[in-house]
Chains A and B, each alone.
Chain A
Amino acid sequence: MDIMALTAVGLAKKMKAKEVTVKEAVEAAFANIEKYESVVNGYVTVDREGAFKRAEEVQKLIDAGKLTGSLAGVPVAVKDNMCTTGLLTTCSSRILENFVPPFSAEAVLNLERAGAVIIGKTNMDEFAMGSTTETSAYGVTKNPWNTEYVPGGSSGGSCAAVAAEECSFALGSDTGGSIRQPSSFCGVTGMKPTYGTVSRYGLIAYGSSLDQIGPIAKDVADCAAILEAIASYDPKDSTSVKRESYDFTSALVKDVTGLRIGVPKDYFGDGLDNEVCEAVLNAVKVLEEKGAVVEEFDLSLVEYAIPAYYIIASAEASSNLARFDGVKYGYRTKEYEGLHQMYKRTRSEGFGQEVKRRIMLGSFVLSSGYYDAYYIKALKTKALIKKAFDHAFEKYDMIVAPAAPTTAPKLGASLSDPIQMYLGDIYTISVNLAGLPGISVPCGIDSKGLPIGMQLIGNCFEENKIIRAAYTYEQNREFRRCPMAERGGNK
């Protein structure tokens, strides 16, 4: 049996049925890591020792009938911006190159309670700032579908690891599309829940009012099971919502009869790659054939989303990243005279270009004289965007969109024009601004052989509707393994 070709839920079932042991699963994951990592570079840290130790513990609990959840014993990779006790957590930055947290993120703890086995920390754009995982200080991650291309970002490492079957599932984080976009580039399924659903405690903050942790896996059923495991009301997070129900797996129903799907005209016009457009619209047709009611509409304010996002996210980031100063933990410059020089050199040396760019942008928009013109305006725009979605959700159960305007760009093609790169966030960014749930499911391959993703966006707290639609859609096709995994060897 090819253990790593199984879904997470499928693997857990086999372990429950005693067909596979936890140790075997972990070994299989590490075997693939051995095979592919030198090419893919999806991981910053691989924790063999910790994983095997935990595997032993989990096996005992499974045998004793104490761990019966749908993820018990399954190997998981965690994006490196989530704190893990005793395990290096870098945010793919030099400034945290030696940071070993004394506590774990709540989402990580929830995974451990569910019996999942953490096997490593995945590569990302530095501090989650980027769309290609090329801003990592630990090397780029390559797209397992074609290693000349990026996996997307900022959860590129997590998505590539899932695609290359270097883990059974992964956790990512999404501030402007960082789960959904790389999921679409890597041919996997990824979901961002409603803001406040998964605790942000232990998630190293980028844009506090936008960040959410979410699952990345082979299919919708896996994502629903993972979301059930990691979502919780956490009193340690003041923005955590106590939801009425944490049941997401009951939504795995193959039925979209009468579901009203809105297609924003603005999303399918200029700037969208033809092949992506075609693939997504074909996917929508499938849902229509299955009974969904599909209609075009005007989602206003689309052109304001990106500026509003970059102003708000950068402003919050400029403050959130101030704590990285060489005083308490992390990297500190070797030679300095006086405090000011220590700060300046530590941060200049420890942060990469994109991070510095956003800190400067964020500081500028918050500075006196510009606060009203930029930051306040952006907050007002955010409120209006939410209103526009509220208006749309009066008529529709969900909104469909591409996950990105193109398939994965080539490595090295994006960083020279940051603004162009920012514009690629067009379809995912409003979802974070409005706090809505969104899921990306693979819906085709382009002529270059690169995956395309369809995004379904739901109203706040209506994950179950988009899960149902996504699940129904994906029953239509087989899960497509990336060529690397198919061949079982390096490209």
Chain B
Amino acid sequence: MKQYETVIGLEVHVELATKTKIFCSCSTEFGGAPNTHTCPVCTGMPGTLPVLNKQVVEYAMAVGLATNCKINQFCKFDRKNYFYPDNPQNYQISQLYLPICVNGGVEIETAAGKKIIGIHEIHMEEDAGKLIHDEWEDCSLVDYNRSGVPLIEIVSEPDMRSADEVIAYLDKLRLIIQYLGASDCKLQEGSMRADVNLSVREMGTETFGTRTEMKNLNSFKAIARAIEGERARQIELLEEGKKVVQETRRWDDNKEYSYAMRSKEDAQDYRYFPEPDLVPIVISDEWLKRVKENQPELRDEKIVRYKKEYDIPEYDINILTSSKKLADMFENTIALCGKPKEVSNWLMGEAMRLLKEDEKEADEISFSPVHLAKLIGLLDSGEINRTVAKEVFEVIFREDVDPEKYVEEKGLKMVDDEGALRCVVEEVIAANAQSVLDYRSGKTKAMGFLVGQTMKAMKGKADPAVVNRILLEILG
């Protein structure tokens, strides 16, 4: 059997997190009744003209800088002409001849080691509307809410050789872009879309095989399956002596197979030409400098810094920096109360657990670092014990309450009075003679039971360590 190498390049579209669209001031907010975030410009009414949203350019620059691209300080928009109802002007304003970023790369790490995936270019363009097919009426309806939402398209070099590398690359891109706040990059919601260009060739060959393009890949798993499927399909064709046809294929993840959408030979001629309604974008040295200075610390830099500044394990550092929100929460809480290990424990432990329970991503953390810092303070000063702290944290996590107020209201403070505590301990001892005997005969587990009973009697408002100490004193 011949050995085949898979060659993969990716075209990734990312919806930018601007408040308004790329060429008009309509809202980019997700959802909304159909055609309510529209205006004459983004619905292609006659006589309308585009006006560029500056924030889009800044996000594109930020992403370009973070992926080591060269920023083209003179770049232009071009029209890509094709007819389709989700495209109100029947042309898309995009960048072909002079995109804003070129020649970059990102480092990925897989089981096989580190590698740089080249980025050919990044350009800005506008999104199309959404088509909804009504089967009852046998007609199609268009919703232009999404028309004009700003996108950047990141085109990689064909440097990837496996599904693992593809996933690692997408993960890296997503992390970088989320860190920049440029997009929330959710594959499932369509704010990040990946088209896979794949070809195969015999190991050792220099020339590329014929590639196909795959679309409709809505999750990392689907991407991985599609890659495996297409590689197998192409190898089978070649083994049978047939040729791979250059075409676009749509992946059906339910059926786990792809079918040809349109042949790239019948491919549309997009008749690209410079957009006459927009002037070229000139990025001054000052502007570029300002964007560079405003770049946030990216993940790799944070990892290095955390290792130096905080005494927490590498594993923890990796998790904490896996999301900018999480990293911000970590840093902001430490800024208020210090105690990096304690903060890390809360985030790695309870926060992660609750996120999983609520089926949420780390990005969706919605409580204030002030409240976490206060909680740690209460625990530190001995006003509440760890069990209560965990309960309060859950309320902070979900409702962002002020823990000091909450503890006060619910009367959750630990009982300070050792005398009163001692009385309760003596009552528990009296009521559980068998356990006392068990303990004295060497069953150390009985101590735990007695502590538990005391805590129960105290309705949790005691420090278990103190209870333990008192019991030991009394029982010897």
Contact of B47 (CB < 8 Å), options: A105, A235, A328: A105
Contact A319 B277 (CB under 8 A): no
> Which residues of chain A are within 8 angstroms of B272 by Cβ–Cβ distance?
366, 371
Q: Is A316 part of the contact surface with B, judged by Cβ < 8 Å? A: yes
Q: Is B364 part of the contact surface with A, judged by Cβ < 8 Å? A: no
Provided the pairs A319-B81, A323-B90 are in contact, do residues A208 and B277 lie with their beta carbons within 8 angstroms? yes
Contact A201 B48 (CB under 8 A): yes
Contact A208 B271 (CB under 8 A): no
Shortest C-beta distance, B130 to chain A (Å), equals: 14
Contact A328 B40 (CB under 8 A): no
Tell me the complex Cα distance, A208–B49, Å: 10
Contact A204 B47 (CB under 8 A): yes
Provided the pairs A322-B90, A323-B88, A323-B90 are in contact, do residues A328 and B43 lie with their beta carbons within 8 angstroms? yes
Interface-central residue, B50, B51, B142, by most chain A CB under 10 Å: B51
Q: Is B318 part of the contact surface with A, judged by Cβ < 8 Å? A: no
> Which residues of chain A are within 8 angstroms of B278 by Cβ–Cβ distance?
238
Q: Is B45 part of the contact surface with A, judged by Cβ < 8 Å? A: yes
Contact of B49 (CB < 8 Å), options: A102, A237, A343: A237
> Which residues of chain B are within 8 angstroms of A89 by Cβ–Cβ distance?
46
Contact with B along A83-119 (1 / 0, CB 8 A): 1000001010000100101110100000000000000
Q: Is A147 part of the contact surface with B, judged by Cβ < 8 Å? A: no
Q: Is A297 part of the contact surface with B, judged by Cβ < 8 Å? A: no
Q: Which residue of B lies closest to A237 (CB)?
A: B49
Contact A366 B271 (CB under 8 A): yes
Contact A203 B271 (CB under 8 A): no
Tell me the complex Cα distance, A325–B46, Å: 12
Contact with A along B28-64 (1 / 0, CB 8 A): 0000000000001001111111111000000000000
Tell me the complex Cα distance, A318–B273, Å: 11
Contact of A201 (CB < 8 Å), options: B47, B81, B142, B276: B47
Which residues 41-73 of A sit at the B interface, judged by CB distance below 8 A? none
> Which residues of chain A are within 8 angstroms of B277 by Cβ–Cβ distance?
205, 208, 238-239
Tell me the complex Cα distance, A339–B90, Å: 13
Tell me the complex Cα distance, A318–B82, Å: 11
Tell me the complex Cα distance, A91–B46, Å: 10
Contact of A375 (CB < 8 Å), options: B51, B81, B89, B273: B273
Which residues 360-386 of A sit at the B interface, judged by CB distance below 8 A? 363, 366-368, 371, 375
Q: Is B361 part of the contact surface with A, judged by Cβ < 8 Å? A: no
Q: Is A277 part of the contact surface with B, judged by Cβ < 8 Å? A: no
Contact B47 A238 (CB under 8 A): no
Which residues 267-286 of B sit at the A interface, judged by CB distance below 8 A? 269, 271-273, 276-279
Contact B273 A319 (CB under 8 A): yes
Tell me the complex Cα distance, A96–B45, Å: 11
Q: Is A393 part of the contact surface with B, judged by Cβ < 8 Å? A: no
Contact A238 B49 (CB under 8 A): yes
Q: Is B79 part of the contact surface with A, judged by Cβ < 8 Å? A: yes
> Which residues of chain A are within 8 angstroms of B269 by Cβ–Cβ distance?
367-368
Q: Which residue of A lies closest to B41 (CB)?
A: A236
Q: Is B259 part of the contact surface with A, judged by Cβ < 8 Å? A: no
Provided the pairs A201-B49, A208-B277 are in contact, do residues A319 and B83 lie with their beta carbons within 8 angstroms? no
Q: Is B91 part of the contact surface with A, judged by Cβ < 8 Å? A: yes
Q: Is B85 part of the contact surface with A, judged by Cβ < 8 Å? A: yes
Provided the pairs A204-B46, A235-B51, A238-B279 are in contact, do residues A363 and B40 lie with their beta carbons within 8 angstroms? no
Provided the pairs A202-B47, A204-B47, A328-B44 are in contact, do residues A209 and B90 lie with their beta carbons within 8 angstroms? no
Q: Which residue of B lies closest to A209 (CB)?
A: B276
Q: Which residue of A lies closest to B43 (CB)?
A: A328
Which residues 176-204 of A sit at the B interface, judged by CB distance below 8 A? 200-204
Which residues 215-273 of A sit at the B interface, judged by CB distance below 8 A? 235-239
Q: Which residue of A lies closest to B50 (CB)?
A: A238
Contact B47 A323 (CB under 8 A): no
> Which residues of chain B are within 8 angstroms of A99 by Cβ–Cβ distance?
46
Provided the pairs A208-B277, A319-B79 are in contact, do residues A82 and B47 lie with their beta carbons within 8 angstroms? yes
> Which residues of chain B are within 8 angstroms of A339 by Cβ–Cβ distance?
85, 140
Provided the pairs A327-B142, A339-B85 are in contact, do residues A83 and B46 lie with their beta carbons within 8 angstroms? yes
Q: Is A315 part of the contact surface with B, judged by Cβ < 8 Å? A: yes
Contact of A322 (CB < 8 Å), options: B51, B91, B273: B91
> Which residues of chain B are within 8 angstroms of A367 by Cβ–Cβ distance?
269, 271
Chain A to chain B contacts (Cβ below 8 Å), 6 pairs: A102-B40, A105-B47, A201-B47, A238-B52, A323-B88, A339-B85
The 3 A-B pairs at the shortest CB distance, nearest first, are namely: A322-B90, A366-B271, A208-B276
Additional A-B contact list (18), CB under 8 Å, known A101-B47, A238-B279, A371-B271: A83-B46, A91-B46, A200-B49, A201-B47, A201-B49, A204-B46, A204-B47, A238-B51, A238-B278, A318-B271, A322-B89, A322-B91, A323-B90, A327-B142, A329-B45, A343-B83, A371-B273, A375-B273
